[in-house]
Amino acid sequence: MAPHPAPFPATRLRRLRRTPQLRALVREATLTPSDLIWPLFIREGQDTREPIASMPGVDRLSLDIVVESAREAAALGIPAICLFPYIDPSLKTETCEEAWSRENLSNRATRAIKEAVPDIAVMTDVALDPYNSNGHDGIVRDGVIVNDESVEALVKMALAQADAGADILGPSDMMDGRIGAMRMALEAEGHKDVTIMSYAAKYASGFYGPFRDAVGASGALKGDKKTYQMDPANADEAMRLIARDLSEGADMVMVKPGMPYLDICRRAKDMFAVPTYAYQVSGEYAMLNAAFQNGWLDRETVMMESLTAFKRAGCDGILTYFAPEAARLLNG
């Protein structure tokens, strides 16, 4: 015989959803401007904003404007910005020496920002792709991305960025052993306090397309990045990479892309309990904006929902092109 039904639902979960006040009281994840890192694309020139077709609302900025963006970020309560240079094609080589030039675009930007806006953290990208005539993150020899030689180049690049005043180095190259090599070099060269946010679980993703347009690497890229970036089908491997990078001296770890990889964020946070970030990448931004522009999704609702989901998944922060817009909304 079927059990006798209760005369009322034993648990009325809707009670706690009835008013905005009750919902606020029981809310588990909170998004604040201090969770956000704002990626910025930089270029040569003066007073120039150059639109990026596949990233509506995102421009390549000349250094004077980047300094203003840094000021804006600080005023909004965003703790960090992250710099990605658009390098003139004439400076791209197979050996990538521009990557560790003290005077390259990225290092000049870091110095200008640290001088003008001391209360913002500057994060820089450690990978060779903007400087590489064949668009890869490492050095290519006979069609192979050679690991150890790439690590040597990346260490020189990291030291130049640290000398320029970067607060956070973001190795996004996925070579083996680069975190340990960078950490040793930083200690040896007097940069004991420079932090490393390792792009530890970085997937070989189709979602980076618009970014490669933005830094001018898409035309140059020969082949794909599958021999160094991760297979989107793998999750255990992400845990091995995070464990490895932490043991080599990473202070913070990142999962990238973001929205399709929230399971990886949650596992990473549960397993390692270290500062964990996600990168809501260019393709995620492009995809959402395409729907916003068509009126198919509501901009504010979906933007904030997407960012809150990262917090719920265990992330301590999010690199997102929506950073200033979201911060403005959060600040009311």
In the residue annotation, 256 being an active-site residue is answered as: yes
Is residue 106 a contact partner of residue 44, using CB atoms and an 8 Å limit?
A: no
Q: What are the residues whose beta carbons fall under 8 Å from the beta carbon of 47, sequence distance 6 or more?
A: 62, 64, 65
Catalytic option among 92, 114, 156, 256: 256
Cα dihedral 37→318→164→96 (10° resolution)? -120
Closest CA to 63 of 41, 95, 33: 41
Give least dist CB 127 to ligand PBG, A.
3
225 labelled catalytic? no
Provide φ and ψ at 135, rounded to 5°: 75, 0
Nearer to ligand PBG, 149 or 189 (CB): 149
Query: 137 or 248: whose CB is closer to ligand PBG?
Result: 137
> Interface with ligand PBG by CB under 6 A: which residues?
125, 127, 129, 137, 172, 208, 211-212, 225, 281-282
> Cα angle at 51 between 50 and 57, to 5 degrees?
130
- Whether the CB-CB separation of 317 and 39 falls below 8 Å is answered with no
Q: How far is the CB of 222 from ligand PBG (least distance, A)?
A: 13
Nearer Cβ to ligand PBG (29/177):
177
Which residue type does 255 have?
V
Catalytic choice (202, 225, 269, 311): 202
| Closest approach of ligand PBG to the CB of residue 74, in Å | 22
Q: Return the number of the residue (57 or 190) whose C-beta is nearest ligand PBG.
A: 57
- Rounded to a whole number of angstroms, the minimum distance from the CB of residue 302 to ligand PBG is 18
> Which active-site residues does the annotation give?
202, 256
